């Protein structure tokens, strides 16, 4: 009798109905709320960071579009080494006897103005706005995914705790069966059935614990970080109705849904692109200017001295020839032994230029106006493609508007149905608990068989599981409604 009383007490404790959302077991370890999980995901989720990285490209494109309106400035510098020697060109020997080094450089400025690069900044600004809208939409998607995984992890954790409760119930029923066998009120068959039931529930508990760990791993995968040991999920949700009506939710979704707003900004980008493509029919203006210089030096000044001596001898010979033509007396050998004086040789060597003492070349300025006339219908093709892209963007926006309306309405109706299901499943779970307590009490006093107790326990397990699923189906549908509207609602 004492064993029966102890077993009855264990049964009463084991079948106590869990709260609406079971509290987690207090285990030492870090804690994680839903908002902390979302914050970590914003900083670490690879897919979301890829979307954020598009902001850099968009900003660079805007700067480039404005930079295309500014003059393009370039500079150049070159050096050249040329071996001394003569070569024939058109029958004439040209070249220098000494090696020489050349250098040069300059600045060039050019600018090009047409309708397309004048409209390009507006196009790129619109594209940057679209990228920001895409990032907002990606953030909302990330929030929805993390919330869904967080709820799934909580649900699996609650299922594991329910499995532990059922194991405790089966263990108490086993003790009761043993107690009845000890006093001769039952057979060993009841004990064996209770042992089988306990073993099956222990297996279910192991599987439930494993599923809870797997769901946590998926949650941290969505967050983009490693899972710490014994982390505890602390956020708890309440079964409450949204404070807004369906019409108010639809109005908010049409104004604030990130995906819908991203579609609208892409539509604006396509409209600006059509205007830019029509600029191909307008003239373009090109301006350019350049300033260049060069320098030259010989590696040896002997060539300059030889050239100066050759010029002096040539002048002398010309003078002799002129005198002979004029009938004057002139010595033809006077130029043979001629040489340069030290001052003349120094003057010849001084003519060797400095390599980087550039001589400025004449500058140039060019202006060109181009009027496109016909290019094989390529402009027409680009304009029609831009118009088609704009029309496609309008259709996608309209489709997203219809989808948003349908998603919000469906999520709202599903939420209401799940709320009602929670109320009914709560009543079913309470009734199943009372039936189990009654079956156990009747078995304790010998008024029914162990099979009826097992059936009552199975009914209780199913009712409690359905109640648990109804609670998390409600939370999941609430998260779906928040995702459809585009903002948190609680």
Inside any domain, residue 105: no
Inside any domain, residue 362: no
**Share above pLDDT 70 across residues of the chain, in percent, rounded to a whole number:** 87
Whether residue 342 is found in the same domain as residue 471? no
Q: What is the pLDDT of residue 303?
A: 67
> Among candidates 207, 104, 123, which has minimal Cα distance to 164?
207
Measured over the CA atoms of residue 220, residue 225, residue 226 and residue 229, the dihedral's sign is negative
Q: What is the pLDDT of residue 256?
A: 87
Confidence of residue 329 (pLDDT cuts 50, 70, 90): low
Give the separation between CA 410 and CA 240, rounded to whole angstroms: 18
Whether residue 390 is found in the same domain as residue 320? no
Whether residue 402 is found in the same domain as residue 475? yes
8 A C-beta contact, residue 139 and residue 467? no
> Among candidates 319, 201, 226, 210, which has minimal Cα distance to 32?
226
Average pLDDT, the chain: 85
8 A C-beta contact, residue 231 and residue 31? yes
Q: For residue 347, is pLDDT > 70?
A: yes
User: pTM for this one?
Assistant: 0.75
Give the separation between CA 170 and CA 163, rounded to whole angstroms: 10
Measured over the CA atoms of residue 247, residue 250, residue 256 and residue 261, the dihedral's sign is negative
Strands 31-32 and 232-233: parallel
> Cα–Cα–Cα angle for 125, 126, 128, nearest 5°?
65
Whether residue 262 is found in the same domain as residue 330? no
Whether residue 33 is found in the same domain as residue 155? yes
What tokens does 364 get?
A: 């140039």
Whether residue 192 is found in the same domain as residue 239? yes
Inside any domain, residue 331: yes
Query: HSE on the CB side for 371, CA within 13 Å?
Result: 1
Q: What is the pLDDT of residue 85?
A: 58
pLDDT, tens digit (0-9, with 9 covering 90-100), for 375-401: 889 889 999 999 999 999 999 999 999
Whether residue 137 is found in the same domain as residue 265? yes
Inside any domain, residue 88: no
Residue 105: helix, strand or coil by DSSP? Answer: strand
User: Phi/psi at 299 (nearest 5 deg)?
Assistant: -75, -20
- The residue-averaged pLDDT of 112-139 equals 90
Q: What is the pLDDT of residue 420?
A: 93
Whether residue 341 is found in the same domain as residue 440? no
3-state helix, strand, coil in the chain (%, to 5): 65, 15, 20
Confidence of residue 21 (pLDDT cuts 50, 70, 90): very low
Helix (H) or strand (E) holding 449: none
Q: For residue 40, is pLDDT > 70?
A: yes
pLDDT, tens digit (0-9, with 9 covering 90-100), for 147-201: 999 999 999 999 999 999 999 999 998 998 898 888 888 889 989 999 999 999 9
User: Poorest-confidence range of 286-300, 320-334, 385-399?
Assistant: 320-334
Give the separation between CA 255 and CA 278, rounded to whole angstroms: 32
Inside any domain, residue 90: no
Whether residue 228 is found in the same domain as residue 337? no
Q: What is the CATH number of the domain that holds 180?
A: 1.20.1600.10
Q: What is the pLDDT of residue 9?
A: 45
Task: Give me the number of domains the chain comprises.
Answer: 2
- The residue-averaged pLDDT of 339-364 equals 74
Inside any domain, residue 80: no
- The DSSP output letter for 405 is H
Inside any domain, residue 254: yes
**Number of Cβ atoms within 10 Å of the Cβ of 368:** 10
- The residue-averaged pLDDT of 291-311 equals 74
User: Poorest-confidence range of 12-21, 275-284, 309-318, 408-417?
Assistant: 12-21
Q: For residue 92, is pLDDT > 60?
A: no
Q: For residue 286, is pLDDT > 70?
A: yes
Confidence of residue 95 (pLDDT cuts 50, 70, 90): low
Last residue of a domain, one of 351, 383, 410: 351
User: Poorest-confidence range of 155-159, 238-242, 327-331?
Assistant: 327-331
- The residue-averaged pLDDT of 83-103 equals 62
Question: Which residues have CB under 8 Å from 456's CB, separation 6+?
Answer: 432, 435, 436, 438, 439, 440
Q: What is the pLDDT of residue 302?
A: 66
Listing DSSP states for 144-175 in one string gives: HHHHHHHHHHHHHHHHHHHHHHHHHHHHHHHH
115-182 and 34-44 helices cross at what angle (nearest 10)? 140
Which residue is associated with the tokens 């118009």? 387
User: Phi/psi at 337 (nearest 5 deg)?
Assistant: -95, 20
- Pick 61 or 8 by higher pLDDT: 61
Q: For residue 278, is pLDDT > 60?
A: yes
| Most confident option among 172-176, 306-310, 316-320 | 172-176
8 A C-beta contact, residue 85 and residue 93? no
Whether residue 166 is found in the same domain as residue 60? yes
Whether residue 211 is found in the same domain as residue 327? no
8 A C-beta contact, residue 366 and residue 288? yes
**Share above pLDDT 90 across residues of the chain, in percent, rounded to a whole number:** 49
Inside any domain, residue 106: no
Please give the residue range of the domain that contains residue 163: 2-69+118-283+375-485
Strands 359-360 and 284-298: antiparallel
46-67 and 34-44 helices cross at what angle (nearest 10)? 50
Q: What is the pLDDT of residue 140?
A: 93
Helix (H) or strand (E) holding 309: helix 302-325
Contacts from 48-56 at CB under 8 Å and sequence distance 24+?
48/138, 48/139, 48/142, 49/224, 51/134, 51/135, 51/138, 52/135, 52/138, 54/131, 54/134, 54/135, 55/128, 55/131, 55/132, 55/135
Confidence of residue 87 (pLDDT cuts 50, 70, 90): low
User: Poorest-confidence range of 46-55, 89-98, 402-411, 414-423?
Assistant: 89-98
Q: What is the pLDDT of residue 60?
A: 94
- The residue-averaged pLDDT of 430-447 equals 90
What tokens does 412 get?
A: 């709202």
Whether residue 379 is found in the same domain as residue 418? yes
Give the separation between CA 58 and CA 54, rounded to whole angstroms: 6
Helix (H) or strand (E) holding 348: helix 342-350
What tokens does 185 get?
A: 């009120």
What tokens does 182 get?
A: 């000890």
């Amino acid at each position: 009798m004492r064993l029966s009383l102890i077993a009855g007490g264990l049964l009463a404790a084991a079948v106590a109905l869990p709260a609406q959302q079971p509290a987690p077991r207090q285990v030492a370890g870090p804690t994680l709320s839903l908002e902390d999980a979302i914050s970590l995901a914003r900083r670490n989720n690879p897919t979301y960071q890829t979307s954020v990285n598009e902001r850099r490209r968009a900003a660079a494109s805007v700067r480039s579009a404005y930079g295309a309106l500014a003059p393009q400035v370039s500079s150049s510098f070159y050096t050249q080494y040329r071996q001394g020697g003569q070569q024939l060109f058109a029958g004439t020997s040209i070249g220098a006897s000494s090696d020489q080094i050349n250098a040069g450089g300059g600045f060039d400025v050019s600018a090009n103005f047409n309708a397309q690069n004048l409209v390009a900044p507006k196009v790129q600004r619109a594209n940057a706005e679209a990228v920001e809208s895409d990032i907002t939409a990606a953030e909302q998607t990330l929030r929805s995914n993390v919330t869904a995984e967080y709820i799934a992890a909580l649900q699996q954790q609650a299922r594991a705790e329910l499995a532990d409760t059922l194991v405790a119930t089966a263990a108490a029923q086993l003790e009761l069966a043993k107690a009845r066998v000890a006093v001769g009120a039952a057979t060993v068959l009841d004990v064996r059935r209770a042992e089988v039931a306990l073993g099956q529930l222990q297996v279910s508990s192991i599987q439930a614990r494993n599923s809870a760990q797997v769901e946590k791993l998926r949650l941290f995968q969505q967050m983009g970080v490693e899972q710490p040991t014994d982390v505890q999920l602390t956020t708890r949700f309440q079964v409450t109705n949204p404070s807004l009506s369906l019409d108010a939710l639809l109005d908010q979704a049409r104004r604030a849904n990130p995906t819908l707003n991203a579609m609208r900004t892409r539509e604006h980008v396509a409209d600006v692109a059509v205007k830019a493509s029509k600029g191909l029919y307008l003239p373009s203006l090109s301006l350019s200017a350049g300033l260049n210089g060069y320098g030259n030096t010989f590696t040896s000044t002997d060539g300059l001295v030889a050239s100066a001596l050759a010029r002096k001898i040539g002048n002398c010979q010309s003078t002799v020839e002129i005198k002979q033509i004029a009938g004057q007396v002139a010595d033809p050998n006077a130029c043979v032994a001629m040489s340069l004086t030290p001052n003349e040789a120094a003057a010849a060597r001084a003519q060797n230029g400095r390599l980087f003492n550039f001589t400025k070349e004449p500058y140039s300025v060019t202006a060109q106006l181009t009027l496109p006339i016909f290019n094989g219908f390529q402009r027409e093709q680009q304009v029609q493609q831009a118009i088609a892209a704009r029309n496609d963007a309008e259709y996608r926006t309209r489709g997203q508007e219809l989808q948003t309306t349908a998603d919000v309405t469906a999520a709202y109706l599903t939420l209401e149905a799940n709320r009602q299901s929670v109320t009914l499943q709560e009543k079913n779970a309470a009734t199943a608990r009372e039936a189990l307590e009654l079956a156990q009490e009747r078995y304790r006093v010998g008024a029914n068989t162990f099979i009826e107790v097992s059936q009552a326990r199975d009914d209780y397990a199913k009712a409690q599981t359905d109640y648990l699923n109804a609670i998390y189906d409600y939370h999941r549908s609430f998260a779906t409604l928040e995702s459809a509207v585009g903002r948190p609602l609680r």
